[in-house]
């Protein structure tokens, strides 16, 4: 199964990328699930196209979770926030949709 990711674009030129990664914790206090975001709220920087950005191990903002359910809920909540603020999904997919293009495997 694939991990969700989405690239959101706003009519103003702002963009927001959101993706999930899974790692093996190095310590007992580590977290296996991670949510990442990169964005430009000024509309002046264009995201690099044609890359597998959703495989990067970190973003401009990063959150750690203990369970898959927690990270999926956080992904869904942040996705809803973007949509509520007028963003559209341009790449990837939300949890309820089929992915557009190739996704990383778990």
pLDDT per residue over 25-75, tens digit each?
A: 878 888 999 999 999 988 777 777 778 999 999 999 999 999 999 999 999
Q: Is residue 48 part of a domain?
A: yes
pLDDT at 26: 79
Q: Is residue 46 part of a domain?
A: yes
pLDDT at 98: 38
Q: Is residue 106 part of a domain?
A: no
Its pTM stands at 0.82
Query: Which pair of tokens denotes residue 8?
Result: 């959101």
Q: Is residue 105 part of a domain?
A: no
Q: What percent of the chain has pLDDT over 70?
A: 89
Q: Is residue 16 part of a domain?
A: yes
Cβ neighbours around 10 below 10 Å, total: 17
Q: Is residue 65 part of a domain?
A: yes
Q: Is residue 72 part of a domain?
A: yes
Number of domains in the chain: 1
CA atoms within 13 A on the CB side of 27: 2
């Amino acid at each position: 199964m694939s991990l969700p990711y989405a690239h959101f674009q706003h009519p103003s030129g702002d963009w927001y990328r959101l993706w999930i990664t899974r790692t093996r914790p190095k310590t007992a206090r580590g977290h296996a699930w991670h949510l990442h975001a990169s964005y430009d709220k000024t509309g002046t920087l264009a995201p690099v196209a044609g890359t597998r950005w959703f495989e990067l191990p970190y973003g401009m903002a990063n959150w750690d979770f203990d369970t898959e359910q927690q990270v999926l809920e956080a992904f869904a909540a942040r996705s809803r926030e973007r949509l509520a603020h007028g963003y559209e999904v341009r790449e990837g997919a939300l949890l309820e949709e089929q992915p557009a293009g190739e996704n990383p495997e778990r």
